[in-house]
Amino acid sequence: MTQRRLAALIGTPIEHSLSPTIHQAAFDAAGVDWAYAAFDVAAGRGAEAVAAMRVLGIAGLSVTMPHKHDVATAVDRLDPAALALRSVNTVSWDGDRLVGSSTDGAGFVAALADDGIEVAGASVAIIGAGGAARSVIDAVGRAGAGSIRVINRSTERAASACDLAAMARVGRPDDIAAADLVVNATSVGMGIEPADATSADLPCPVEGLQPSQIVVDLVYHPLRTAWLVAAEQAGARIVDGLGMLIHQAALQQSMWLGTVPDVAVMRRAALDALAARSRRADDTGR
C-alpha cells in the first residue's frame, strides 16, 4: 500500500481560504491518495514552516500572506517568476531540493486562455501595484503583451512594479480607454455587493470603458463586483477572478503530482463553497 501524501496551505489568517476545498476536490476526482491541510502559521515563521516541510516530508505547500517573501528565502531554488517577484506561492520537490514557484500570474494568463483570450500583442491596463498586480504584470510581460500601463493610487509603487516588464509604464486612470484588456488588481470592491456600492468601491472611473474591451476583476468575493457590473453596462466583455484562483491552484497540483487536475471540478467546488458562504452570511443578516 502506498503512503498517503500531504499537501498544505500556510498563511494567516486562513479560515476563509478556498484552497483546501479546491485542492481536495481535485485530489478526490483524480482518485489519488492525497490530503490537503491548512496550517495557521504566525507572521515571521514561514521559513520554519518550510523547514518542517523538509522534516515531515510534506509533498507540497501553498503559501499565502504574510509568508510569500520569507518562503522565497527558505527554499533551495526559485522559478523565474518567483525570482523576479521575490515571492513564492507554491513549494514543490525536485529530487531532494525544494523549489519555490509563483503560479498567480501564470494562472491569470491560463484563465484568460481558457476563455479564448490571447494576451500576446494586447495593450493591457492594470489597476493596482500590490502583490497580485505584480504577478499579473510579470506574467503578461512574459506572455508578450504589446504594452502595459500600471495605474495605482501610489505612483511610487506603480513605478517599482514597472521594473517587472520591459513594456510596462506608469499610467493614469484615463489610459484604460485605450487598452484591450483592463484589469482591476486592487482590493477595491472586495466584500461589497454591487447594490451597496458607491464610486469609492470602483478602482477607477468607468467612463472610459467600451464594448471592444475585456475587463477583468481579480476580486472574487463577490464574484460579480460593482466594477464588472459597470463594465458590462458599458458593453465590455467581463471576466471574474475565480478563473485565476482555480488556474493558479491547478498549476500547483501539476507541480506536485506531475499530472494536470480537472479544472472544472475545482471551479465547481469553489462555486459551491462561495454559495454556501453567501447563504451563511444571509442567515446571519450580513
Cell of 183: 484589469
Residue 233 makes contact with ligand NAP by CB under 6 A: no
Residue 187 makes contact with ligand NAP by CB under 6 A: yes
Q: How far is the CB of 30 from ligand NAP (least distance, A)?
A: 21
Return d(Cα 246, Cα 266) in angstroms, integer. Answer: 6
3-class DSSP state of 135 = helix
Nearer to ligand NAP, 75 or 111 (CB): 111
Return d(Cα 56, Cα 70) in angstroms, integer. Answer: 19
Give residue number: closest CB to ligand NAP.
130
Question: Can you say whether the dihedral through the CA atoms of 142, 248, 125, 159 is positive or negative?
Answer: negative
Which of 248, 256, 257, 263 is close enough to bind ligand NAP by CB under 6 A? 248
Return d(Cα 189, Cα 62) in angstroms, integer. Answer: 25
Q: Which stretch binds ligand NAP (CB under 6 A): 4-12, 51-59, 140-148, 179-187?
A: 179-187
Sort 248 into a burial class: Cβ within 10 Å, 0-12 / 13-18 / 19+.
buried
**Residue 10 parent element (H or E):** strand 5-11
Active-site annotation holds for 68: yes
Q: Which stretch binds ligand NAP (CB under 6 A): 23-31, 45-53, 166-174, 187-195?
A: 187-195
Residue 101 makes contact with ligand NAP by CB under 6 A: no
User: By CB under 6 A, what part of segment 124-163 binds ligand NAP?
Assistant: 128-133, 152-154, 157
* Positions marked active-site: 68
The contact set with ligand NAP (CB under 6 A) reads 104, 128-133, 152-154, 157, 185-188, 190, 218-220, 241, 244-245, 248
